[in-house]
Structure 1
Amino acid sequence: MLLALPFRGTWRVRNSPARRVPSHGTHLFATTYAMDFIAVRDGRTAPTRDWRTLLATEPPDRFFAFGLPILAPAAGTVAAVHSGAPDHEARRSPLALAGYALTQASRAGGGAAAIAGNHVILAVEGGYVVLAHLRAGSVRVRVGDAVVAGQEVGLCGNSGNSTQPHLHLQAMDGLDPFAARGLPMEFRSYRVSGRPGIVDRGVPGESEIVEPG
C-alpha cells in the first residue's frame, strides 16, 4: 500500500519492517508491518531531562509529539473511530519501563482498543489504515466521513499501549484487527535526515528521521 507520511515536520522511525518482520515481534492485531513514528527536534524527543526521566514517569506534554496534527495518509472513508481513552504518563526511565512491561499481558487482553487507545481506521484503496495512540478528545472525524490525503484526523497522544507520545501506523486487509492480516506499506515523496534528495517511494529504515518531501 502506497501512502503519504501522516504528519508534518521531522519524526524518528521505530519498529520499521525494513529491519524485521513482524515489525513489532508479533502478527497479532494485524501489526505485521506496523511502524511507529516519534516527533523529534535536533534528534531529541523532548526538550527536558531531569530526575523524572531517570527514575519516574513524565507528563506526556513534555514531548514534542504530544498534540501534533496527525493527517490522513491517503484519501478514503472513515471506517471506525475510538475515542475517550486517557493519555497516560510517559516513561523513559528504565524503572518505569520495567513496571510497565509487567502489565503488558493485561493490556493485550483488553483487545485492540486497549492496545491502540484513541484511533481512527480509514478505508482506503487496497485495504484499511490504522492511526493509533491519538490524544484524548482530539479525533476530528466521524464514521462515514470522506477524507482527503493530508486532512487532519486527530492529534498525536499517549493513549493505549504507549510509553511516550507517538503515532502507530499500520495497514491491513480487513476492518477487524482480530481477523485481518497486516499489509506492507510504502511511502511516497519523503526526505531522510542526512541524505540528499527526496525518496520517491520507499520504506524508512529503523531510527531514520524522516519528513514529507
Structure 2
Amino acid sequence: MGKHVAGLILVSLMGWVSIAVAQQALAPVEARVPFAPTAFMGSDGLTHLAYELDITNIYGDTGPLKPQSLKVYGDDASVPLVSFSAVDLADMTRPAPAEHAPVSIDSGKRAVMYVWITLPKGGLVPRTLRHRIEFVAAKNKTELLDGARVTVNTVTPLAIGPPLRGGWWMAHEGPGNAHSHHWGSLVAVNGMVTIPQRYAFDLVGVDHRGHAMRTGIKDITKSRYADWIGYGVDVIAVAGGVVSDARDGEEERLPLSPQQEPESLTAHGLFGNYVVLEIAPGVFAGYAHLQRGSLKVHVGDHVRRGQLLGHLGQSGSSSAPHLHFQLANAATFEGSEGLPFVFDHFDSLGPETEAQLFGQGEPWAPLPVEHRQAQLPLNDVVIGFP
C-alpha cells in the first residue's frame, strides 16, 4: 500500500513539475510579427524569409529586459531553423544599442528585431514560425518567451521584367540588409507603422570597372549628372498595368549634395518625380527619383510591359542618380507594406562594395556572368538586364 501511495505522490510531483516547466514562458512582453513573411528565392540560389519581430516590455515596474538569445522553429520542429546569440541580436535590433552593448528593452519600450532566415537547400517552407527568447531581467532573473507564432504567407512572389533598359546595376541597400534605409526604416503615419521599402533597392548604374561615374572625374563632389553612368537611362514598365499615381516637374538635386529633411513620409515628400503602377490586384510597383520632365505617362494610363515610363534622374530624397524600385501592397507610400518579387531573368556579376563604386579599396572583379531566372537580387549584388 505504501509503495502505491509513494508512486501516486511521485506521479503527482512529476505532473506538477511539468506544469511548472510549461508555466516558465511568462516573460512580461508583447511579441508579434506585424506582417507575415513570404518565402522568396534570392540571387544566392537559396530560399529566404524576411520579417520583423516586435517586442514590447509592457509593465512600468519590470525594469529593463535583455534578450540573450532568439530561436525560430518551423511548425512543430524541436530543432530551430535558426538561432541568434545576444551579439547577433545587438546587430539586428532597432533601436540599436551602443557599440559592444547588449540589447536592453526598457519598461514601456518596444524593440524591433529584423529576422532573416535562410532555409536549407531543398527543404520545405514551414507553414508557421514559433519564437523562443530568453531574457535577463532585474536581479538576473531569467524570463522566457515561447510563442509569437506567425503563419507564413503562401502567395508566390510576382515575377516581373526589368525596370531599366539594359546596362549593369548595383542593387544597393537591397534585401537582406537590416541596416539599410529601406528595410530598416519604419514609417509611422496616421496610426499605422509599416515598412514600405522592405524589399526595395537603389539601382546604381556601373561600368565595366564597377564604377558609378565615368573616367576623368577629378573631384566627385563637383560631378554633373552626365558624369554618372545610369543618368538618363530608360525606365520601363516591369509588367502591364495601370498608372495609379505619378508626378513630374520636381527639380533635381545636385549629385552628392547635402540631403534635406523630407516634408513628409509620403511619395510626394520622398520620391521626387515618380510613377506608381498597379501591376496586379493589390500589387504596386514604385519608381522614384526620375528625371525632371521625362515622364511619358499619366494617372489612369494603361501600360504594357517594357513601355517607356521616363528616365533615371536624381529628384526627391536622393544623394546621387539612381532608380529606387519597390513593390508594395498599396498605391501610397505611407500605410503600405513592401512585398517580395523576382525578376523573371537577369544576369548576376557578383557582389560589390559601396567603396568600389567610387574606385576606392580593392578594384572590383566581376564574377563570370551567370544567367538567373525567378530570383530577387540581394543586397549590393551587381546585375545586368540583357
What band does the TM-score fall into relative to the shorter chain?
0.7 to 0.9
Please, which moves more after superposition, 117-126 or 16-25? 16-25
Q: Secondary structure at 1:90's aligned position in 2? A: coil
Could you give the per-residue CA deviations for residues 43-77 of structure 1, whole angstroms, max 9, x where no partner exists? 11111454531xx3432221111111001111111
* 1:26 is the counterpart of 2:185: yes
Structure 1, residues 102-133: CA drift from partner, whole Å, max 9, x if none?
Answer: x3xx2153742131110000011141010110
Alpha-carbon distance in 2 for matches of 1:111, 1:201: 30
Tell me whether 1:86 sits opposite 2:251 in the alignment: yes
Name the counterpart of 2:17. Answer: none
CA distance in 2 between partners of 1:191 and 1:88 (Å)? 31
Identify the range of structure 1 (15-24 vs 178-187) with the bigger mean alpha-carbon deviation: 15-24
Instruction: Give, as a single letter, the amino acid of the residue that structure 1 aligns with 2:275.
Output: V
Query: How far, CA to CA, are the matches of 1:208 and 1:110 in structure 2?
Result: 28
Q: CA deviation at 1:20?
A: 3.5
- Equivalent residue, structure 2, for 1:134: 290
Partner of residue 2, structure 1: 159
1:95-174 → structure 2 map (5 Å cutoff): 100=258, 103=260, 106-107=261-262, 109=264, 111-126=266-281, 127-174=283-330
What 5-or-longer segments of structure 2 have no aligned partner?
A: 1-157, 188-194, 350-366
| Higher relative contact order (CA closer than 8 Å, sequence separation 6+) | 1
Give secondary structure in 2 for the equivalent of 1:182. coil
Relative to structure 1, is the Cα distance of residues 207 and 172 closer, same or farther in structure 2, using a 3 angstrom cutoff?
Answer: same
Distance (whole Å) between structure 1 residues aligned to residue 168 and residue 239 of structure 2: 19
Q: 2:344 aligns with which of 171, 188, 205?
A: 188
* Corresponding position of 1:62: 227
The residue number in structure 2 matching 1:37 is: 203
Cα distance between partner residues in 1 of 2:263 and 2:382 = 29
Q: Is the 8 A contact 2:173 2:180 kept in 1?
A: no
Kindly state the Cα deviation for residue 141 of structure 1 after the two structures are TM-superposed.
Answer: 0.6
Distance 1:189 1:23, change over 3 A: farther
Partner amino acid for 1:179?
G
Distance verdict in 2 for CA 1:2–1:27, change over 3 Å: farther
What SS class does the counterpart of residue 107 from structure 1 fall into? coil
Q: CA deviation at 1:201?
A: 1.0
Q: 1:34 to 1:46 in 2, by over 3 A?
A: same
Q: Shift of residue 206 of structure 1?
A: 2.1
Q: Deviations over 1:132-190 (max 9, x none)?
A: 10000000111111111111100000000111110000111111211211111221111
Q: Secondary structure at the match of 1:81?
A: strand
Paired residues of 1:23 and 1:32 also in contact (CA < 8 A): no
Return the offset for 1:204: 1.1
Bigger Rg, which one: 2
What's the CA shift for 1:21? Answer: 8.0
